[in-house]
Amino acid sequence: MIPQKTIEELINKHSELEKDLSLGKIDKKIFAEKSKEYSDLNDIIDDAKKYLSFKKDKSELNKIIDDSNSDKELLNMAKKELEDLEIQYEKNEKKLKLFLLPKDEADKKNAIIEIRAGTGGLEASLFAGDLFKMYEKISNKKKWNLEVISISRSDAGGLKEVIASIKGSNIYSTLKYESGVHRVQRVPDTETQGRVHTSAATVAVLPEVEEVDLKINESDLRIDVFRAGGPGGQSVNTTDSAVRITHIPTGISVSQQDEKSQHKNKAKGMKILRARIYELERMRIEKERSAERKNKIGTGDRSERIRTYNFPQGRVTDHRINLTLHKLDEFLEGEVFDEIIETLTLHAQDERLGNL
């Protein structure tokens, strides 16, 4: 049960913001922030008021039910109303608890997605390419802006590795559950006897951070420049434009050579480096918070097998929530992606509520 004082504070805060916004008393610099806070409270304020009035409403209905003089029709109406009231109370309580959960500020951020071919040789690289196409289609449908930061192709026409930036609204909160090992089961084009092979690709989704979110000291960086190499080690550039940036305190290293300009490669490398350092710190804090428990749904363990794409059976299975959809083709086209994401989000919320 949520303390009455907590709910009253939410209602009072909503009233104060409403008054200040209408009178224009809020500084322009924080107007947008306060407007967002007011809008968020607006979504739950009716539920908060109903939650507070539950005891009083229940008591009045019980008086009618306990009154021996109540006629049968009124009695039945009161019983039905009480039943509906209790169901609504439980819904309101869950919604308010979710609202009161600590917010993950990273949820509002754009994301950097890294896809790498895993076990399975060339077939794994083809699958990594399929995953990247899927995220491209999802981005197009949602009108997100996907920009490739670096890409490395395999001889089979797939991808050894691709790193991309995705910008839009609440990107990280939508894609964060994609981090982990994605496994594919299918008959490769090179297989002559029709045997099903299993291969994998890893996906890492990181919140994209700006310099204001994370300050990195230049003295903590080691920057090496070298000549960019093409396929088979062939030189594609006569100048030392490729950049390797190493963050000495964490040991995190990023190499970037896609651009002909050293400055552009450094800027792209720093974008990836900031995201990885930020995520490392977030994971450390989350590990400390969850030391007492083991959540079923993670958002950072890249060694965790999260999903299987089975082509012979036309199914996609998310192992964290035991959800199977026999809509593999539609899923890879980005058609039913939200169905799994919404289920994952609800399960993750239930876990967090259970850990309160």
Q: Express each pLDDT in 226-245 by its tens digit.
A: 877 654 344 444 567 889 99
Bridge partners (DSSP) of residue 229 are 235
Check residue 293 and give its pLDDT. Answer: 42
Check residue 292 and give its pLDDT. Answer: 43
Mean pLDDT rounded to a whole number for the chain: 86
- Count of helices and strands (H, E) across the chain: 9, 11
Please name each of the domains of the chain with its CATH number. 4-100 (no CATH), 109-207+298-354 (3.30.70.1660), 218-288 (3.30.160.20)
pLDDT digits (tens, 9 = 90+) for 265-307: 888 999 899 899 988 887 787 676 554 444 545 555 556 799 9
Check residue 108 and give its pLDDT. Answer: 84
For residue 126, give Cα distances in angstroms to 115, 119, 158, 329. 12, 12, 4, 16
Residue 350 pLDDT greater than 70, yes or no: yes
Least confident residue range of 48-57, 88-97, 136-145: 88-97
Question: Edge-to-edge strands of the sheet including 180-186?
Answer: 145-153, 159-167, 111-117, 197-207, 180-186, 305-310, 315-318, 323-325
Beta pairing class for 305-310 and 180-186: parallel
Rounded mean pLDDT, 161-167: 95
**pTM: predicted TM-score of the whole model, two decimal places:** 0.71
Check residue 52 and give its pLDDT. Answer: 92
| Percent of the chain topping pLDDT 90 | 46
Least confident residue range of 148-152, 179-183, 202-206, 352-356: 352-356
Check residue 126 and give its pLDDT. Answer: 94
Bridge partners (DSSP) of residue 148 are 164
Residue 79: half-sphere exposure toward Cβ, Cα within 13 Å? 10
Please state, as a whole number, how many other Cβ atoms lie within 10 Å of the Cβ of residue 180.
Answer: 22
| Percent of the chain topping pLDDT 70 | 90
Report yes or no: 356 and 102 within 8 Å, Cβ to Cβ: no
pLDDT band at 15 (very low <50, low <70, confident <90, very high): very high
Highest mean pLDDT range out of 9-13, 91-95, 298-302?
9-13
Highest mean pLDDT range out of 256-260, 280-284, 328-332?
328-332
Check residue 41 and give its pLDDT. Answer: 92
Rounded mean pLDDT, 7-27: 88
DSSP H or E segment with residue 6? helix 4-23
Check residue 58 and give its pLDDT. Answer: 92
Residue 214 pLDDT greater than 60, yes or no: yes
Check residue 233 and give its pLDDT. Answer: 40
Question: Measured on CA atoms in the order 43, 48, 49, 55, is the torsion positive or negative?
Answer: positive
pLDDT band at 102 (very low <50, low <70, confident <90, very high): confident
